[in-house]
Structure 1
Amino acid sequence: MSLFATLSRSVALAVMLVITSPAALAQLAPTDEQRQAAVEIAEALRYGHYADIDFDEQWSQEAFQRYLDILDGQRSYLLNRDIEPYRHLEDDMADALFDGDLDDAFALYNRLSERQTNRLEWLLAELDDGLSLEFDSNERLEVNREDAPWASRESELDELWRKRLKNDALTLALTDQDAEQIEDNLRQRYEGQLSRLRQAESEDVFGLLMAAVSGTIDPHTGYLSPRQGESFDIQMSLSLEGIGALLQADGEYVKVSSLVPGGPAERAGVLEPADRIIAVGQEEGEMVNVVGMRLDNVVDLIRGPKGSVVRLDVVPAQAVDMTRSQIVEITRDTVSLEDQAAHSEVIEVMRDGEPHRIGVINVPTFYVDFDAWQAGEEEYRSTTRDVAREIDNLKKEGVEGIVLDLRNNGGGALQEANSLIGLFIDRGPTVQVRDAQGRIQLYGDSEAGTVYDGPLTVLVNRLSASASEIFAGAIQDYGRGIVVGASTFGKGTVQTLNELSHGQIKLTRAKFYRISGDSTQNRGVEPDITFPSLIDPERIGESSLDNALAWDTVQNAQYRRYGEPERVLPTLITRHEERAKENPNFRYLERQSTLARQLREQHTSVSLNREQRQRELEAQEAEQLSLENQRRRALGLPELEEWMDARSDGTTPTEDPEVESEGETEGNEEEVPVDRAHVLEAAEVLLDYVHLQNQQRMAKR
């Protein structure tokens, strides 16, 4: 079995969670190929998945409920009486799947299609009758209706959609659009959605149904249609020409889940995880509204030939209102191995007026040139080989220790995680892989000797996943160094891609375990010293995904520890906390993450009164701006008049490493302050560790 420790691509390709699903004038029905594929998927899940799946009535209930959530997650189209004829699927979904009987699931979708078509035509008729732009009522619109009961009468939904239409118009009015622009934009949006509904095919329905089926089991298992399978193959070969961002559906919006290291989006520095994309445009021409559009259609709009420009209308992750968007431009490009190669720098840390040199090696991904390796070439590129070269260079520079930066590293080749650990230990196990039968395979480093046996710190964040977690966990377990940063992603599962008679299925087949016996699944790796982060673990990470497999343990492997950093950890934490209190960027991160969480908890509804909405928005952004300007004053940076300006002036607080804007110079600490603050503090921690180790050795003598 080929094992790839990668942050799942299925969020971008296999699961299409949408509110406005496609509808057609003709009734869609399953094909014979899809019926056969459904049976094959059921068998693959029963006999090939890591989890022991019991296809009983409880599973059927969960699958049916998930299908409803995918079709109409905000309870805004279907009535209770529309669902009742299909309630038997709550008990029969498993049987229907194994029998290839998809007729009722398709019929439910067709009923939804009728409701959606009627609703869009209703909205367009409301526009024809003249749109009221008086926003002086005390009404509020509920933001999230996923727990709302199904409406029993269409008049209830009329009232909901009247408010939604009013909110859509108010949102545009708050961006200073006039009445004609507002009506034109809304008409274009609704007509575009209606056009897409009428272009739906049976494969779209089958994909939604299989997303419900696989999503009840774990978030990384999923069906890929023939079209999606082709896209997956292109993406895994890194030859895809686009912007280098992984996207996922988030209700009716498309959200950035992560950025490809070395990709165009990361290099441009204009996107961040959890940003929402609300419109896409080419270099010239009008922007296409993508709210409610299927994920794969949004991906198609963003893709394009190398060298061309795509424009994205983006709502920043930290924004509390959808009116606060900005248009960014990204030049499409391919992501090459060179873009993702490990690289190093030397930074100086001052202590008592004396400079100390610390090496930093950034590892964007765990890569290997498989073609060159399989061809037997001696000089093939790989993470381990490149890091070994960087270590040699840093040794020549006389560094006192090395920080290995794995932030935003979503994984890669498992063999590279093993061999990279081997640079820092003298033989030993690195990771355990358990299959569905309970058999455990032990991977490890078999080569004697180390490339580097000096002081080591590993820097991670929430987007460090899979192979990164294996490496960080092993360094922790061996006592080989200090892990600092934020809790990692928590993807500790292994997937394989299997062919079906129609399409493919990506199947979770095994789980990773640290040599200590702890799983990396769901919990990730907890750093020894935690740094504040703007990435919300409730929105990004394995634990934020539905039906993620649970954390557990197996028997530990036999290994010897190289050190006992836990003995000095309390002192390291105390010294770090003292520095963090005086660090403007760390104070900003702590306060901003707390504020963002509070605002999300409060933001359960929006006012439809223009003045009240404006006051609420201004109050929220005033708090964010105040925090930003406190940080700027402490750093000697010019203050901003508006909080959104921080995203466009090159000094935005970002946690994406190596983000550079046009005209910036590498190494300028003020241009990417939060990024540099994490690196510099990791170096400070490492220097503390070096000094404490020296004191211990002297005490022993």
Structure 2
Amino acid sequence: MFTLPDSRFAMFSTRHLMSACSALVLCLAMPSAWAADTVVAEKAAPKTAAVAVRKNLTPTAEQAKASRLVARQLSVLHYNKTPLNDELSADIWTRYLSDLDGQHVYFLASDIEQFKAQRLRLDDELKAGDLDPAFAMFNRYQKRAHERFQFVLTKLDKQRKDVLNFSGNERLLNDRKDAPWVATAAEMDTLWLNRLRSAALALKLDGKSDDDIIATLTRRYRSQLKALSQNRDEDAFSIFMNALTETYDPHTSYFSPRSSENFNINMSLQLEGIGAVLQTDDEYTKVVRLVPAGPADKSRQLKPNDKIVAVGEGEKELVDVIGWRIDEVVELIRGPKGTTVRLQIIPSDGGARKTISLVRNTVALEDQAASKKVIELTRNGDTKRIGVIKLPAFYADFQGQQNGDPNYRSTTRDVRKLIDELKKANVQGLILDLRNNGGGSLSEVNDLIGEFISTGPTVQVRDARGRIETLGDGNPDVGYKGPLVVMINRLSASAAEIFAGAIQDYGRGLVVGSTSFGKGSVQSIRDLGHGQLKITEAKFYRISGASTQNKGVEPDLFLPEVFDPKDIGESALPHAMPWDTIRPSRFQQLNEWKDKLSVLAQTSKTRQNKDPDIRFLNDQIKLLADLKAQNTSSLNEKVRLSEKQALDERRLSIENRRRVAKKQAPLKTWEEAEKQLEAQNPDNDPNFERPEEQALLREAAEILLDSEQITESAASLPSYLKRNADSPFVKR
């Protein structure tokens, strides 16, 4: 048996946070810095000004009480029911060190040896509300960071020739998270001198003069030193509490009183920003994902994994933000609606730094609304019309619904209207595009599934006590009975995964694309008196009994994907809850595609191998993988210039291979290619699709036609098509 969603589940979109990266906001940070946009940036002091290190921080009585409450609630209420014991203490200790010094560039090996005394004691100290040992570790971090910043500032001030020496043969490890802890202060000096040279060389290759390089780096590190001196006891407490919460799962978090206020504002979408989820990555601010229909998403200029290195208000001078705290970067990006912010970014595709302009705005409901178009393909001389509905999120105007507005907007209402319009356009199949859909309202995804099936279960929800509730569609009316393809990618999450999983389990249509995000957990907010706890209390399961957690939804047919699952997705997050299964719901499968997938896959693969734009996409994926595999960077200017030239030549070759295949004239330089690529969307049209994106959509349409052809050539129609044999979507 199944039940219709009640009010408790209808509010998942706001209180239970179904989005892939937890909080849906206009400019937000992800673990390990769950902070909203709060701190106003200040100009750096002159390089001769003294910046005093902040005195040691000590915990407050309120924080001690909150820590006991957090520890107790996690042990009792979290879905995992993980006991707070020595084993978890070791995990907390490791996570805390990672949050303080994930790149192993501050602490010495002797510090780590001293900290080991706390490795199996943190559980007992948390239960007792004893925060002194955790604060002692934070204070040691501050001391070491202060020493490092003073070291580089002295180098910049007194030994600039040493900093600007790019003739050696040293190479710098790009990712030090697995590197051994540095043994001595002298070795740490060498490491930081090389880090400083690497930063200077990057500016040199970007066209900066020697004086500009020294000035920029001086401002950068004085800013970091000043920020260090402004740390408060709540900063230390928040980092330690999140080290605790994140050992349970990456979506369980502590919000300080200040962050709680910002989080509550963010959930009501009352802030203006660029519509990007941000995360600290070493010294950089990295884009994790874009909020659908937000300013950044509409501009088509910013992509996941891009790094933001400078921010400018309007036409004012860009402010270098490398090494800044995430909340300070976010505050600089925020501003009044309608104003312009400029971002200097390092593109994730290995391209040169570039500056983009975005106009701040809120994300209105209508901006995330479903939209439609028709694409045409030719088969055997006949023109085939395929309808496409793009759905950025599962949304609903809950306020309008509660006020009794008969015209309130929702995903299901909008999609139903678009389907009716596509029927009138005589389309012969439908693609529902859920790529980059980060989730939304559970009641809406339940209702939308009902537009494609008669009656039956849609999703199962298991809480921390093991109780299972099955939601479903009790309305026998079906809005669309024809051929269906659902497109997903790595950024399709939560509600989008529930929809794709249900369509796949029923066999109602084919799911194509790449494996989805894998966010199959449910969070709620609990007040602590001192801040708030966002805690995972339930998991989603498909009607087949398989969880969407961690593994996500695997498509029936794969299309290439630029996002590396090792970097993006639930499985890439530390301490992600595992995939598991429960008993399946009782439901009637409408079609069995398993025996037909091999033929469909081979036919699709043959087409993809011939498509210039899909070949281009595969070449880009290989290029990004090769760039990622380069785990060191040369500190020699000539070597770096040579590497850059080789990279530009390879990128030009990839672009020209596509152009030649499309009967276009090849380009002579990568600079020329970059200009042409940037000119593809001069007006920043939010509906613009790159050629490779268009190619994937075309291939999905081709797969739909293939599936229809296989169905027609079978000895008999599938049962769901038999029942609807008079449908205009069943070709005779």
Aligned to 1:514: 542
Q: Does 1:612 align with 2:630?
A: no
Mean alpha-carbon deviation: is it higher for 28-37 or for 365-374? Answer: 28-37
8 A Cα contact 2:172 2:632, kept in partner:
yes
Change in 2 beyond 3 A, CA 1:175/1:642: farther
Distance (whole Å) between structure 2 residues aligned to residue 311 and residue 665 of structure 1: 18
Q: 2:83 aligns with which of 45, 51, 54?
A: 54
Distance (whole Å) between structure 2 residues aligned to residue 183 and residue 391 of structure 1: 60
8 A Cα contact 2:523 2:537, kept in partner:
yes
Distance (whole Å) between structure 2 residues aligned to residue 134 and residue 437 of structure 1: 62
Which ranges of 4 or more aligned residues in structure 1 deviate by more than 4 Å? 636-653, 663-667, 697-701
1:286, CA displacement in angstroms? 2.2
Give 3-state SS (helix, strand or coil) of 2:414's partner.
helix
Mean alpha-carbon deviation: is it higher for 566-575 or for 553-562? Answer: 566-575
Mean alpha-carbon deviation: is it higher for 192-201 or for 409-418? Answer: 192-201
Q: Does 1:633 align with 2:637?
A: no
8 A Cα contact 2:350 2:627, kept in partner:
no
TM-score with structure 1 length normalisation? 0.94
8 A Cα contact 2:446 2:458, kept in partner:
yes
1:232, CA displacement in angstroms? 1.8
Change in 2 beyond 3 A, CA 1:688/1:310: same
Give 3-state SS (helix, strand or coil) of 2:376's partner.
strand
1:520, CA displacement in angstroms? 0.6
1:187, CA displacement in angstroms? 0.8
Mean alpha-carbon deviation: is it higher for 437-446 or for 82-91? Answer: 82-91
Any idea what the Cα deviations from partners look like across 1:12-50, whole Å, max 9, x if unmatched? 4463459xxx99422111111111111111111101100
Q: 1:366 aligns with which of 394, 398, 404?
A: 394
8 A Cα contact 2:29 2:277, kept in partner:
no
1:643, CA displacement in angstroms? 4.6
Any idea what the Cα deviations from partners look like across 1:445-496, whole Å, max 9, x if unmatched? 1111201111100011110000000000000000100111111001011111
Change in 2 beyond 3 A, CA 1:665/1:158: closer
1:611, CA displacement in angstroms? 0.7
Q: 1:234 aligns with which of 248, 265, 269?
A: 265
1:576, CA displacement in angstroms? 0.9
8 A Cα contact 1:16 1:295, kept in partner:
no
Distance (whole Å) between structure 1 residues aligned to residue 420 and residue 515 of structure 2: 30
Q: 1:97 aligns with which of 120, 126, 131?
A: 126
Change in 2 beyond 3 A, CA 1:556/1:642: farther
Change in 2 beyond 3 A, CA 1:72/1:153: same
Distance (whole Å) between structure 1 residues aligned to residue 400 and residue 687 of structure 2: 32
Aligned to 1:680: 698
Q: How does 1:286-685 map to 2 (within 5 A)?
A: 286-319=317-350, 324-601=352-629, 603-636=630-663, 639-640=666-667, 643=670, 649-650=676-677, 661-662=682-683, 672-685=690-703
Change in 2 beyond 3 A, CA 1:49/1:649: farther
Change in 2 beyond 3 A, CA 1:309/1:641: farther
Counterpart of 1:423, as a letter, is: E
Any idea what the Cα deviations from partners look like across 1:599-639, whole Å, max 9, x if unmatched? 211x1111111111221232233223311221233235565
Distance (whole Å) between structure 2 residues aligned to residue 339 and residue 367 of structure 1: 11
1:571, CA displacement in angstroms? 2.2
Q: Percent identity?
A: 46
8 A Cα contact 2:652 2:673, kept in partner:
no
Distance (whole Å) between structure 1 residues aligned to residue 22 and residue 536 of structure 2: 13
Change in 2 beyond 3 A, CA 1:186/1:699: closer
Q: 1:3 aligns with which of 8, 12, 23?
A: 12
Q: 2:31 aligns with which of 7, 12, 15?
A: 15
1:240, CA displacement in angstroms? 1.8
Any idea what the Cα deviations from partners look like across 1:129-157, whole Å, max 9, x if unmatched? 13122311111111122122222321110
8 A Cα contact 1:267 1:661, kept in partner:
no
Change in 2 beyond 3 A, CA 1:251/1:596: same
Any idea what the Cα deviations from partners look like across 1:671-696, whole Å, max 9, x if unmatched? 61122111111111111222222222
Q: 2:154 aligns with which of 96, 121, 125?
A: 125
Q: Does 1:113 align with 2:142?
A: yes
1:86, CA displacement in angstroms? 3.2
1:173, CA displacement in angstroms? 1.1
Give 3-state SS (helix, strand or coil) of 1:411's partner.
coil
Any idea what the Cα deviations from partners look like across 1:81-129, whole Å, max 9, x if unmatched? 3344432220111111111111111111111111211211111111111
1:566, CA displacement in angstroms? 2.6
Any idea what the Cα deviations from partners look like across 1:239-284, whole Å, max 9, x if unmatched? 2200011111222211111111111001111101111111111113
Distance (whole Å) between structure 2 residues aligned to residue 74 and residue 395 of structure 1: 56
1:554, CA displacement in angstroms? 0.5
Distance (whole Å) between structure 2 residues aligned to residue 36 and residue 245 of structure 1: 34
Structure 2 unmatched ranges of 5 or more: 1-7, 35-50, 723-732
Q: 2:245 aligns with which of 203, 214, 217?
A: 214
Q: Does 1:694 align with 2:707?
A: no
Any idea what the Cα deviations from partners look like across 1:190-219, whole Å, max 9, x if unmatched? 111111111111111111111211111111
Q: How does 1:32-43 map to 2 (within 5 A)?
A: 32-43=61-72
8 A Cα contact 2:487 2:700, kept in partner:
yes
Distance (whole Å) between structure 1 residues aligned to residue 671 and residue 173 of structure 2: 25
Distance (whole Å) between structure 2 residues aligned to residue 570 and residue 31 of structure 1: 63
Structure 1 unmatched ranges of 5 or more: 654-659
Q: How does 1:82-231 map to 2 (within 5 A)?
A: 82-132=111-161, 133-231=164-262
Distance (whole Å) between structure 2 residues aligned to residue 24 and residue 498 of structure 1: 36
Change in 2 beyond 3 A, CA 1:666/1:138: closer
Distance (whole Å) between structure 1 residues aligned to residue 278 and residue 409 of structure 2: 28
Aligned residues: 685
**RMSD of Structure 2 on Structure 1 (CA):** 2.1
Aligned to 2:55: 26
Distance (whole Å) between structure 2 residues aligned to residue 463 and residue 234 of structure 1: 24
Q: Does 1:67 align with 2:96?
A: yes
1:666, CA displacement in angstroms? 5.7
Counterpart of 1:8, as a letter, is: C
Any idea what the Cα deviations from partners look like across 1:417-466, whole Å, max 9, x if unmatched? 10000000001000011111111110111111201111100011110000
Distance (whole Å) between structure 2 residues aligned to residue 372 and residue 196 of structure 1: 44
Counterpart of 2:115, as a letter, is: Y
8 A Cα contact 2:74 2:81, kept in partner:
no
Distance (whole Å) between structure 2 residues aligned to residue 627 and residue 75 of structure 1: 37
8 A Cα contact 2:306 2:346, kept in partner:
yes
8 A Cα contact 1:264 1:333, kept in partner:
yes
8 A Cα contact 2:296 2:302, kept in partner:
yes
Change in 2 beyond 3 A, CA 1:487/1:3: same
1:67, CA displacement in angstroms? 0.7
Change in 2 beyond 3 A, CA 1:437/1:650: same
1:698, CA displacement in angstroms? 6.3
Distance (whole Å) between structure 2 residues aligned to residue 554 and residue 297 of structure 1: 44
1:592, CA displacement in angstroms? 1.8
Distance (whole Å) between structure 2 residues aligned to residue 699 and residue 218 of structure 1: 46
1:358, CA displacement in angstroms? 0.7
Distance (whole Å) between structure 1 residues aligned to residue 673 and residue 578 of structure 2: 39
8 A Cα contact 2:165 2:197, kept in partner:
no
Q: 2:309 aligns with which of 278, 283, 286?
A: 278
Distance (whole Å) between structure 1 residues aligned to residue 229 and residue 205 of structure 2: 32
1:646, CA displacement in angstroms? 5.8
Mean alpha-carbon deviation: is it higher for 137-146 or for 631-640? Answer: 631-640
Counterpart of 1:351, as a letter, is: R
TM-score with structure 2 length normalisation? 0.90
Distance (whole Å) between structure 1 residues aligned to residue 79 and residue 121 of structure 2: 24
